[in-house]
């Protein structure tokens, strides 16, 4: 799918509150107004990296967050924030903070929250989608372009991004046997991108 067609398809899905995010059944996030070029440039200065061209187009042509996989893309300042009130700028500072600042992946910016301390991020240099969990960054070997195509087409991205484990037990309410399928590790290879 060409990028222009992808932007149109993403905007169409984002316009419908019932399909705006993968978790729209738990509450419909507000689609943030589109970011201005000035907002993007200011975010780039604060992030110390250029925003990938497709990520920029999504922010400027679809909305400054509030649509997409999982709970939806988190915006740059002035757009949709995460459940704790953070834009990608504040979220990145908190997710990658350490005492020395060494090893912080300058070009890695959070995209969306999968819950349980797991985030999708983008390498703004390459456009690769990464997963961040307690084990660190995993390169999914998916481009942001392909990731958004899958989302537009309704492909359950969690199935492509995570391994799952089945756990058996007794349902505490019904006292009947049950099996739960729980998300485990992200699929991919350890991230080897450039660091600051």
pLDDT at 59: 98
3-155 adopts what CATH topology?
SMI1/KNR4-like (3.40.1580)
pLDDT at 123: 96
Q: What is the pTM of this model?
A: 0.86
Whether the per-residue pLDDT at 195 is higher than 60: the answer is no
Cα–Cα distance for residue pair 90/144, rounded to 1 Å: 21
The closest of 14, 58, 1, 18 to 35, measured between CA atoms, is 58
Interval 163-178 mean pLDDT: 83
Interval 170-195 mean pLDDT: 80
Give 48-75 pLDDT, tens digit per residue: 999 999 999 999 999 999 999 998 999 9
What percent of the chain stands above pLDDT 70?
90
Domain boundaries, the chain: 3-155
pLDDT at 24: 63
DSSP code for 26? G
- Residue 140: count other Cβ atoms within 10 Å of its Cβ: 22
Interval 187-195 mean pLDDT: 77
């Amino acid at each position: 799918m060409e990028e222009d067609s992808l932007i149109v398809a993403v905007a169409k899905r984002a316009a419908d509150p019932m399909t705006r995010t993968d978790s729209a059944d738990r509450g419909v996030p507000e689609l943030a107004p589109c970011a201005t070029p000035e907002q993007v440039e200011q975010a780039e200065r604060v992030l110390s990296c250029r925003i990938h061209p497709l990520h920029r187009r999504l922010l400027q042509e679809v909305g400054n967050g509030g649509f997409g996989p999982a709970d939806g893309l988190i915006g740059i300042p002035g757009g949709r924030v995460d459940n704790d009130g953070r834009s990608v700028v504040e979220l990145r500072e908190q997710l990658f903070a350490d005492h020395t600042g060494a090893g912080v992946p300058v070009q890695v910016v959070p995209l969306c929250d999968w819950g349980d301390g797991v985030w999708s991020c983008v390498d703004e240099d390459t456009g690769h989608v990464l997963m961040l969990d307690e084990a660190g960054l995993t390169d999914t070997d998916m481009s942001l372009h392909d990731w958004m195509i899958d989302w537009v087409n309704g492909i359950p991205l969690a199935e492509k991004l995570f391994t799952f484990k089945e756990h058996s037990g007794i349902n505490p309410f019904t006292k009947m046997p049950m099996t739960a399928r729980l998300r485990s590790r992200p699929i991919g290879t350890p991230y080897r991108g450039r660091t600051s």
